[in-house]
Chains A and B, each alone.
Chain A
Amino acid sequence: MEVLDTVIGFASDAPFDAEIHLLSHAGKVEYLDISPNDVSRRRIRLSTDKGTDCAIALAREQRLADGAVLKLESDRAIVVRLSEQEWLAVSACDQAAALELGYFAGNLHWKVRFDGTILLIALEGPMQTYLDRLEVILAQGKVKVVGPND
């Protein structure tokens, strides 16, 4: 188990960028893939893409983020790779349905974004559980799914 207790810098920033670049060409950067659901954790146990068992244990004032460098040695680096947030995109058929959908998403504490007339719902669990909750207004035709990642 590799204990990683500090974000020492970011792979895209000097002075790390050059060194990480070299190491990555030599195949010596290990990535820790972290989902958007987990990125606000200070402590998490997971394996790198090369199978190294890692225990992240940051101080409270530190945060994980895409590109965070957690380990840098002469011949190896461990870098966080934030996976993409998945979204369920829905649209309402008219204003009344839009009000209902907005109320509904708030009532369920869903994380959302607005894209014009489309409501993007951040998937923090399986897509089906979201579709199940929307079942009634989907069946009534008040709301329709317009895409998972749009």
Chain B
Amino acid sequence: MPKSSIAMELTKTPNKTAARVGIGGPVGSGKTALIEQLIPALAERGIEVAVVTNDLVTKEDALRLQRSGLISPERVLAVEAGACPHTIIREDPSLNIAAADTLAQNFPQADVILIESGGDNLASTFSLDLVDYWIFVIDTGGGDDIPRKRGPGIIRSDLLVINKIDIGPYVGADVDSMQKEASEIREGRPVILTDCKKQTGIKELIDCLVHNVLFLDA
């Protein structure tokens, strides 16, 4: 077949756009702790990060990351969610989109922008206009019946993280059954167990991001 004229006209411009990854889940489940683990582990693989945090009426999580010494402070932006933490990640994510756009513009080499939700109940989901992929974080301290309670966060997230597996024995949570039930409810979509005090599960989580949304495993 002769070389297509249209195909020849299609000039190839390298098109670097940072992936946007949402991190949602109930307050206190360990979303910020997970980001604190991810930043150095991603950097180790040469993956450049920027972060947007959402808090209700403060910038606590952004300040925590900015002071952590893990990331340069300008790479972290805070968005205040006001009364409705799920609205700014789902119904009207414009403030978060604007913050992510600012980071993308200021750090064109960034590979991934992590967007931490202010924390909500099991019903929160992310708009796919805001993120390309989203993680939902629950923890053993919430009780081992949490996966059974379903909710869109647990069912629809691209990746479910069950965090704080280290404290399972102290709160009477059966981690294995949590994982098994979560996998059944999610019909086999990924579930990863983590302990953010000991980096357990962080490598597996990054492998999952690399394959499904960062595409660095060519």
Contacts and interface: CB of A to CB of B under 8 A. Distances in A.
Interface string A44-65: 1100000000010111100000
B189 to A, nearest CB: 11
Interface in B9-65: 10, 13, 15, 17, 19-20
Contact of B215 (A3, A72, A73, A109): A3
B90 to A, nearest CB: 8
Contacts of B104: 60
Given A16-B6, A42-B17, A125-B156, A57 B215 contact: yes
B101 interface: yes
B128 A40 contact: yes
B83 interface: no
Given A57-B17, A72-B6, A124-B156, A45 B1 contact: no
A1 B15 contact: no
A144 interface: no
A41 B217 CA distance: 20
Nearest to A124: B156
B10 A45 contact: no
Nearest to B127: A40
Interface string B190-218: 00000000000000000000011101011
A43 interface: yes
Nearest to B14: A5
Contacts of A44: 132
A72 B155 CA distance: 37
Interface in A8-54: 8, 15-16, 19, 26, 38, 40-45
Contacts of A72: 4, 6-7, 10
Given A41-B128, A43-B133, A55-B215, A74 B15 contact: no
A135 interface: no
Nearest to A60: B17
Contacts of A74: 1-4, 7
A19 B8 CA distance: 13
A129 interface: yes
Contacts of A5: 15, 17
B15 A40 contact: no
A125 B155 contact: yes
B176 interface: no
Interface in B49-94: 90
A150 interface: no
A75 interface: yes
Contacts of A26: 1
Contacts of B20: 42
B184 interface: no
B129 interface: yes
A62 to B, nearest CB: 9
Contacts of B211: 45
Contacts of A38: 128
B7 A45 contact: no
Q: Which 9 A-B pairs have the closest CB atoms?
A: A43-B132, A55-B215, A5-B15, A74-B4, A40-B128, A1-B218, A74-B3, A59-B17, A73-B7
Interface of A: 1, 3, 5-6, 8, 15-16, 19, 26, 38, 40-45, 55, 57-60, 72-75, 109, 124-126, 129
5 contacts: A1-B215, A1-B218, A38-B128, A40-B129, A43-B19
